[in-house]
Structure 1
Amino acid sequence: MAHALTLNAGSSSLKFGYFHLDTDAGEPDARIVGLVERIGQGQRAHMRAKGPDGAVLIDKEFGRNHVSDHGTALERVVAFLRDRRPDATLSAVGHRVVHGGPDFDAPVELTDKVIKRLAEFEPLAPLHQPHNLSGVRAALELFPDAVQVACFDTAFHRNHPWVNDTFAIPRRFYDEGVRRYGFHGLSYEYISSKLAEIAPHLHMGRTIVAHLGNGASMCGLMGGRSVASSMGFTALDGLPMGTRCGQLDPGVLLYMLQTEGMGADEIQNVLYRESGLLGLSELSNDMRTLEAAAKENERAREAISYFVFRIRRELGALAAALGGVSTLVFCGGIGENSVHIREKVCEGMGWLGMEIDEGRNLRSEQIISTDLSRVRVLVIPTNEELVIARAARDMLAQKEETAA
């Protein structure tokens, strides 16, 4: 039995999974899944992991600055796994890599050449790509005999129509790779496959998926394939996020440069780390904190309202791009857990044929729309780790077949 570790580095988190693999194409079997969150920024990081039966294996908060970066987080994860599985050897390590650029549209084995090329995309995803590649380098040292596989968040969107991928700037920029890539592709790939499993008739229709978390985006699917995404050249565009601005008039950047006299690094820090829910609320980037404070804190309420407004605006835009909508799926930490956000997004959407059932929504049932709603509204927990584990399985099978 082969085993794989999956690593999914977010801007302030590290999700991980330990899987048994069947290289004869059986579904990867998750034995441990977990998360280290609140990494860095002087926070108290927290690790939580569960076994296949849902039993909690670890639920631990670390001291302030004890998990200062993603490399330290990975060390904590490896120590935990070795304590739980001291005799297990890894055949593969699968990595989420946010930006594959114009080169990579499918999982690829990580070589020195590939890693060097991926490092060139770090300016396009500065909150993620450096962490992704830091995890790759650390895993190469820790598990030198394991096959290392990169899975790209941009790959799922690579077959968009040209009009959905380009910007109205001189064409030479498109030829140089300046185009709309879209992100959260591993999440959308999983939701597409899950929808095909539980509701094939919906999968074949027009679906909008709202991946709402500290990073947030939306995607329009036609027959399970991405045709439009709210994110673009970088992971800044579209919806406001925990600390990222979302859609922004380019003139604001000119104002920062010319009037404020800000440099590129300063602007990057503002747009990626000081904006979004944190910038609007001046309180927190965490929706749980904002919802808890909203009754007494006007800025928390305003940040939530703006988040909802942009989701609703993007919902209408994607419905237009698809020529209608038959299904809306909520996923991601906020989409899966915030009853209030789902309610407010769908409120007054009867013109689109959408109506949610208050009780079903409160219980976070899989289908939260009413029986009479023309648009089915679902809540489906995403599983990027399983998508990565599948890629690791397929890569091992391919190598075994080549060696035979």
Structure 2
Amino acid sequence: MTDVLLVLNTGSSSLKFEVFGYEALDKLAKGKVTGIGTEARLSATVVASDVHVDRALAANDHETAMAAVIDLIDRYDDAWRMVATVHRIVHGGADFVAPVVVTPGILDRLAALAPLAPLHQPYNLAGIAASDRLSDAPDIACFDTAFHAGHAPLFQVFAVDATLRDRGIRRYGFHGLSYEWIARVLASEHPDLARGRVVVGHLGNGASLCALKDGASVDTTMGMTALDGLPMGSRTGAIDPGAVTYMLRNLGMGIDDVEHALYERSGLKGLSGLSNDVKALLESADPRAGFALDYFALKVAQFAAMMAVSMGGLDAVVFTGGVGENAGPVRDAILARLEFLRPFRTLIVPANEERMLAIHGKALLEAGRGG
């Protein structure tokens, strides 16, 4: 019997999973269910037996998708015993600054944070609910906000009065699991940089920057929600708050309309009028595509300079995430705008949030066992 950890990253229409051996955290299986609620499809690889699965799936909700994942594991495992399911949770608020074993009370508190991450939190929690109903293994929640919890007050507050600050209006930051993985890689493979001042760009459909100094997060571009900072695939990034009140008061838009516009119709998609897919924009001859990418590169460079100010200098820029790792022309356009800050080193480090989740899950279980 081999103890394993199941790692889940649940989105609105997708469920990504990986299975890790508990002792060495070796990857045993990985896959995803996409198109939940529409044209669902399960694709997966079981590493040990070299089994590849790719088939349509009748999955109208996350529980059905989760059931298909567990069925796949049961069918192809090699005497695995699932000791925990580890979940990525986007928002932990002010209270959840380390991984926790999920209880009904904790689930309720996390649900209360859903308005701060409407594109993520409800679906992250749906993954927990589905796992809880279908498996006896404990559920462990790990938070994208936790890595930034140690920010100094200067980098944590908004310039609002104390009554609002006391009600949670503050900066939290996101993509923390990704940045924590980068910090581990730097410590292992580039110890000189790990002790230095590094701007990490997690660039994908969601995008942000983190200022890493001595391996710790000093500052980051996202704020109270995952809407702030850099323009993203379909999210605005930073916008004048007065524009929001103008939409509500003068353009006849309701709160839901404004939220949909800011989260779903903006960013690269809104600027180009074409797509939020960077690959498609790079291949397009439409001048709007080029403009959207230029805007993105400009904003990443501007915010990177801001991160350098927060650290008092810049020793390296690290790119990660789907766009950061794969879109060379976008990286080049960003770096060209940062030439005035040279010299600094440039690295590309693949994201591995799933392994970071597995590391956290094992550490929490070991602490509970006293080992």
Normalised to the residue count of structure 1, the TM-score between the two structures is 0.86
Select 1:380's aligned residue among 349, 361, 371: 349
Aligned twin of 2:52: 57
**Partner AA of 1:234 in structure 2:** T
Q: Secondary structure at the match of 1:106?
A: coil
**Partner AA of 1:382 in structure 2:** A
Q: Does 1:158 align with 2:149?
A: yes
Structure 1 unmatched ranges of 5 or more: 354-373
Select 1:28's aligned residue among 25, 29, 47: 25
Alpha-carbon distance in structure 2 between the residues aligned to 1:312 and 1:37: 33
Q: CA deviation at 1:83?
A: 3.0
Q: Is 1:147–1:396's contact at 8 Å kept on the other side of the alignment?
A: no
Select 2:97's aligned residue among 102, 105, 122: 105
1:126-174 deviation line (CA, Å, top 9, x unaligned): 0000000000000001112x12100000000011111111111112211
Aligned twin of 2:242: 251
Q: Is 2:3–2:21's contact at 8 Å kept on the other side of the alignment?
A: yes
Aligned twin of 2:306: 317
Select 2:124's aligned residue among 127, 132, 138: 132
Output aligned runs, 1:197-212, within 5 Å.
197-212=188-203
**Partner AA of 1:383 in structure 2:** N
1:225-256 deviation line (CA, Å, top 9, x unaligned): 00100000000000111121111100110111
1:188-228 deviation line (CA, Å, top 9, x unaligned): 00000011000111100001100011111100011010010
Alpha-carbon distance in structure 2 between the residues aligned to 1:300 and 1:55: 40
Alpha-carbon distance in structure 2 between the residues aligned to 1:55 and 1:337: 27
1:343-368 deviation line (CA, Å, top 9, x unaligned): 11112432111xxxxxxxxxxxxxxx
Q: Is 2:62–2:130's contact at 8 Å kept on the other side of the alignment?
A: no
Is the alpha carbon distance of 1:56 and 1:160 closer, same or farther for their aligned partners in structure 2, counting shifts above 3 Å? farther
Is the alpha carbon distance of 1:261 and 1:114 closer, same or farther for their aligned partners in structure 2, counting shifts above 3 Å? same
Aligned twin of 2:20: 19
Is the alpha carbon distance of 1:84 and 1:114 closer, same or farther for their aligned partners in structure 2, counting shifts above 3 Å? same
Aligned twin of 1:233: 224
**Partner AA of 2:29 in structure 1:** I
Aligned twin of 2:266: 275
Aligned twin of 1:184: 175
RMSD: 2.2
Aligned twin of 1:118: 110
Q: CA deviation at 1:59?
A: 4.5
Q: Does 1:332 align with 2:333?
A: no
Q: Is 2:170–2:223's contact at 8 Å kept on the other side of the alignment?
A: yes
Output aligned runs, 1:60-79, within 5 Å.
62=56, 70-79=62-71
Is the alpha carbon distance of 1:288 and 1:36 closer, same or farther for their aligned partners in structure 2, counting shifts above 3 Å? farther
Select 1:397's aligned residue among 355, 366, 369: 366
Q: CA deviation at 1:328?
A: 0.8
Q: CA deviation at 1:307?
A: 1.4
Aligned twin of 1:8: 9
Alpha-carbon distance in structure 2 between the residues aligned to 1:17 and 1:100: 22
Q: CA deviation at 1:310?
A: 1.0
**Partner AA of 1:398 in structure 2:** A
Structure 2 unmatched ranges of 5 or more: none
**Partner AA of 1:80 in structure 2:** L
Q: Is 2:46–2:76's contact at 8 Å kept on the other side of the alignment?
A: no
Alpha-carbon distance in structure 2 between the residues aligned to 1:311 and 1:12: 28
Alpha-carbon distance in structure 1 between the residues aligned to 2:292 and 2:63: 32
Q: CA deviation at 1:282?
A: 2.1
Alpha-carbon distance in structure 1 between the residues aligned to 2:287 and 2:60: 32
Alpha-carbon distance in structure 2 between the residues aligned to 1:335 and 1:45: 28
Alpha-carbon distance in structure 2 between the residues aligned to 1:331 and 1:381: 5
Q: CA deviation at 1:71?
A: 4.3
**Partner AA of 1:116 in structure 2:** D
**Partner AA of 2:25 in structure 1:** P
Is the alpha carbon distance of 1:164 and 1:211 closer, same or farther for their aligned partners in structure 2, counting shifts above 3 Å? same
Q: Is 1:109–1:149's contact at 8 Å kept on the other side of the alignment?
A: yes
Alpha-carbon distance in structure 2 between the residues aligned to 1:133 and 1:14: 12
Output aligned runs, 1:139-150, within 5 Å.
139-144=131-136, 146-150=137-141
Output aligned runs, 1:80-91, within 5 Å.
80-85=72-77, 87-91=79-83
